[in-house]
Amino acid sequence: MDEKTLSHLSGVWNRAWPLVVDHGEGPYLIDTTGRRYLDFTCGIGVTNTGHAHPRVVAAIQEQAAKLLHGQAALVAHQPMLRLVEELLPIVPKPLDSFFFTNSGAEVIEGAVKLARHATGKPNVIVFQGSFHGRTNATMAMTTSKTIYRAGYGPLASGVFVAPFPYAYYYGWDEETTVRFCLRELKLILKSQTAPNETAAIVIEPVLGEGGYVPAPAAFLQGLREICDHYGILLVADEVQAGFGRTGRWFSIEYSGVVPDILVMAKGLASGMPLAGLAARPALMERWVPGSHGGTYGGNAVCCAAAAATIQVMRDERLIENAAAMGEVLMNGLRHIQAKHPEIGDVRGRGLMIASEFTDPKGEPWTDRAKAVAGAAYQKGLLLLRCGSYENTIRWIPPLIISASQIEDGLEKFQAALEA
């Protein structure tokens, strides 16, 4: 039945594994034959509280019986207000005005629209390797791989691309890389989009699809200075790196920088489709009422799931666990790296970690990373790749992960390397 019905699904979803999932349980996915897989993908960084966390499930069930949909442009509803109360102590001050929508791409589009309204300026600057989504505007802001853009042109205009401080790629130390990237950004403001035409600089503080590369604090601080100097808004895309993933609520906290607009999605609602942005009230007030919105944005059941997600993260100390387990994972990977020189770099923050494969000539080793991820699947470990060359294996276990489950994952990885 599965095979025949599967053939009716669009091939545009290039499924990573021939896997039909029956259910999820904490860090495991269980297929229809009963086989268990250790899920170190979290559905691409979404199920941070694990699959089907009982408290999140209960909140969804309770809310579903009360109110499924209360259109946000028409009425307010209790779960959204509860969610705001939960978010207020989490987001950096003074970002305490919120807008909700359904997906990462939509909320990035929203952030760009807000930046354009608030500044009256048309252009945005993004970074090499960034992934901001697949809608018309966000596709033009995405440069992690050509496949996201090829054949869809002409792309939306007004987007300029600056180099991301990816020290391992350049083969430089961090300081040299930061200096180079800030210089190039300033050159773009002189040569391609003038400050008085640039509404926003949009950055993933930890580059996600582009290779799991944390931006050094000095770079983010440099961006803040440039934005303040020229009256450009700084937008932090925390869609993948936010919500505890890196051992802090938001990854930009590592730099001490407060963005003008903070964008969140994925881990926010444990798998329910919800995304949001936070900004200063004075900025949000410049978004002309009625000029943006959407039928489902801030859905009642999704908001209830998000409020429960935050409570679970606080009560179960998942941020602290992400930081502690991140260290266990990082140390384990460095240990394995010492025996496997094809792992050229291990980097990351919290439970957002990369192991990048490099061949003996120092070039990206895509085939090797692909083979290892494939062998890991055979051993019951789900791992995704990332990076423009897809030569990086990314480690995104749920934030509920234990040390013994990480050990299990590392043993499977080691076996996959030796397969």
- Binding site residues, ligand PLP, CB under 6 A: 44, 103-105, 108, 131-133, 204, 208-209, 237, 239-240, 265
**In whole angstroms, how close is the CB of 262 to ligand PLP at the nearest point?**
12
**In whole angstroms, how close is the CB of 156 to ligand PLP at the nearest point?**
15
**In whole angstroms, how close is the CB of 301 to ligand PLP at the nearest point?**
17
Q: Which is nearer to ligand PLP, 277 or 346 (CB)?
A: 277
By the 10 Å C-beta count (0-12 exposed, 13-18 middle, 19+ buried), 85 is classed as exposed
Q: Which is nearer to ligand PLP, 243 or 389 (CB)?
A: 243
For residues 284 and 281, what is the distance between their CA atoms, to the nearest angstrom?
Answer: 5
Give Cα separations from 369 to 354, 395, 411 (angstroms): 11, 13, 17
For residues 24 and 31, what is the distance between their CA atoms, to the nearest angstrom?
Answer: 9
DSSP 326: H
Q: Which is nearer to ligand PLP, 130 or 405 (CB)?
A: 130
**In whole angstroms, how close is the CB of 105 to ligand PLP at the nearest point?**
3
Q: Which is nearer to ligand PLP, 351 or 375 (CB)?
A: 351
Q: Which is nearer to ligand PLP, 132 or 224 (CB)?
A: 132
Q: Rounded to the nearest 5°, which phi and psi values hold at 200?
A: -150, 155
**In whole angstroms, how close is the CB of 266 to ligand PLP at the nearest point?**
7
Determine the length of the chain. 419
Q: Which is nearer to ligand PLP, 46 or 87 (CB)?
A: 46
**In whole angstroms, how close is the CB of 135 to ligand PLP at the nearest point?**
7
Q: In this chain, which residue has its C-beta nearest to ligand PLP?
A: 104
Q: DSSP string spanning 17-49?
A: SS--EEEEEBTEEEETT--EEEESSHHHHT-TT
**In whole angstroms, how close is the CB of 75 to ligand PLP at the nearest point?**
25
Using CA atoms of 354, 360, 365, 368 in order, give the dihedral in degrees to the nearest 10.
-90
Structure tokens at 119: 């500044």
Q: Which is nearer to ligand PLP, 47 or 358 (CB)?
A: 47
For residues 136 and 152, what is the distance between their CA atoms, to the nearest angstrom?
Answer: 9
Helix (H/G/I), strand (E/B), else coil: 241: coil
Q: Which is nearer to ligand PLP, 126 or 375 (CB)?
A: 126
The structure tokens 């995704």 sit at: 384
Whose CA is closest to 214, among 336, 419, 394, 7?
Answer: 394
**In whole angstroms, how close is the CB of 328 to ligand PLP at the nearest point?**
24
Contacts 24+ apart (CB under 8 A), 34-38: 35/380, 36/380, 37/377, 37/380, 37/381, 37/382, 38/380, 38/381, 38/382, 38/405, 38/408, 38/409, 38/412
